[in-house]
């Protein structure tokens, strides 16, 4: 054992069976459990806890007060045939719970080189976050959610259990995707989207918005916008134009309009 590694074990709570690279940066407030493996280029924030059998590779930078459960693999090389060993990265924010067998890959050069996970996120067991993805604050990824590369999940969105999400798809803020739904196009902000005979947006995520403190007035404006987009006889271009001409439509509707206008894969309606 290298002298530097022996010294770090005395300063912090690292189990004797854990393997920690000498270059890894681990504050004394962290806990590293049995059989964890922490490689070169890993930097942990204060008060992180690794339960057991956690594997981390760098370059990976983790914020404060994150909890990693057994058998998750964090910051490993991207699953992309173009990857040739470049030093791409992963950044994780604060106060996240990353459950058993979660995999989060680093970025690729062609995708910008960085996978980013925000703060206050619950990532449930067996979830996969592919290379160059971006996960917004307060999102939730339920058991077995599988995100291809370059996926964006905006703040407060919920991706249901066993949902496969195609590469380059965006999941809009405050949306909810029902379990087992295959997502190949962008998911509208504020929507409830699920699979019946096909995948489509069913309704407004009213319950979720109320839980997050949206006022009745805000919810009413968003509901009206959904009726124009989803229940009228107008096509998407006509519906967007109608919404733009409405006075006092509110910031939420403006965000919804911008989301649709900027879509590259089309939106689920």
Q: Is the pLDDT of residue 6 over 50?
A: no
Q: Residue ranges of the domains in the chain?
A: 3-153, 210-261
Residue 53, pLDDT score: 98
Q: What is the pLDDT of residues 92-121, one digit of tens each?
A: 999 999 999 999 999 999 999 999 999 999
CATH architecture of structural domain 3-153: 3 Solenoid (2.160)
Residue 199, pLDDT score: 66
Residue 175 burial (CB < 10 Å; 0-12/13-18/19+)?
Answer: buried
User: What mean pLDDT is predicted for residues 243-254?
Assistant: 93
Which of 62, 59, 53 is CA-nearest to residue 78?
59
Q: Which CATH class is domain 210-261?
A: mainly alpha
User: What mean pLDDT is predicted for residues 50-77?
Assistant: 98
Q: pLDDT band at 7, cuts 50/70/90?
A: very low
Determine which one of 132, 136, 150, 178 is catalytic: 132
Residue 184, pLDDT score: 94
Determine which one of 53, 128, 131, 150 is catalytic: 131
pTM: 0.92
> How does the average pLDDT of the chain come out, rounded?
93
User: What mean pLDDT is predicted for residues 48-59?
Assistant: 97
Residue 12, pLDDT score: 64
Q: pLDDT band at 172, cuts 50/70/90?
A: very high
Residue 193, pLDDT score: 92
Residue 230, pLDDT score: 84
Active site residue 254: no
Which residue's structure tokens are 């950044």? Answer: 91
Active site residue 131: yes
Determine which one of 75, 107, 111, 149 is catalytic: 149
3-state SS record for the chain? CCHHHHHHHHHCEECCCCEECCCCECCCCCEECCCCEECCCEECCCCCEECCCCEECCCEEECCCCEECCCCEEEECCCCCCCCCCCCEEEECCCCEECCCCEEECCCCCCCCEEEECCCCEECCCCEECCCCEECCCCEECCCCEECCCCEECCCCEECCCCEECCCCEECCCCEECCCCCECCEECCCEEEEECCCEEEEEECHHHHHHCCCCHHHHHHHHHHHHHHHHCCCCHHHHHHHHHCCCCCCHHHHHHHHHHHCCCCCECC
* Beta bridge partner(s), residue 262: none
* Beta bridge partner(s), residue 60: 42, 90
The answer to whether the beta carbons of residues 64 and 82 sit under 8 Å apart is: no
Q: Output the CA torsion sign for 265, 117, 158, 81.
A: positive
Residue 37, pLDDT score: 98
Residue 201, pLDDT score: 67
Low-confidence winner among 9-13, 36-40, 166-170, 207-211 (lowest mean pLDDT): 9-13
Higher pLDDT, 269 or 102: 102
Could you give the CA distance from residue 203 to residue 244 in angstroms, rounded to a whole number?
A: 21
Which residue's structure tokens are 């069913």? Answer: 202
* Beta bridge partner(s), residue 114: 89
């Amino acid at each position: 054992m290298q002298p530097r590694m022996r010294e770090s074990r005395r300063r912090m709570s690292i189990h004797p069976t854990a393997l920690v690279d000498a270059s890894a940066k681990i504050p004394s407030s962290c806990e590293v459990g049995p059989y964890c493996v922490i490689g070169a280029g890993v930097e942990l924030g204060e008060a992180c806890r690794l339960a057991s059998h956690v594997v981390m590779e760098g370059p990976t930078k983790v914020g404060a007060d994150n909890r990693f459960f057994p058998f998750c693999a964090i910051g490993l090389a991207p699953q992309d045939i173009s990857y040739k060993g470049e030093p791409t990265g992963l950044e994780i924010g604060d106060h996240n719970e990353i459950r058993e067998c979660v995999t989060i890959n680093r970025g690729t050069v062609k995708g910008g080189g960085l996978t980013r996970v925000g703060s206050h996120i619950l990532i449930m067991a067996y979830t996969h976050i592919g290379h160059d993805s971006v996960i917004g604050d307060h999102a939730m990824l339920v058991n077995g959610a599988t995100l291809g590369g370059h996926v964006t999940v905006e703040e407060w969105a919920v991706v249901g259990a066993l949902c496969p999400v195609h590469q380059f798809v965006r999941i809009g803020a405050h949306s909810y995707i029902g379990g087992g739904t295959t997502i190949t196009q962008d998911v509208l902000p504020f929507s409830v989207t699920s699979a019946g005979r096909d995948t489509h947006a069913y309704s407004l995520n009213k319950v979720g918005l109320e839980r997050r403190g949206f006022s009745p007035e805000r919810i009413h404006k968003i509901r009206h916008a959904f009726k124009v987009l989803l229940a009228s006889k107008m096509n998407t271009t006509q519906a967007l134009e109608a919404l733009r001409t409405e006075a006092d439509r509110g910031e939420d509707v403006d965000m919804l309009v911008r989301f649709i206008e900027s879509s590259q894969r089309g939106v689920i309606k």
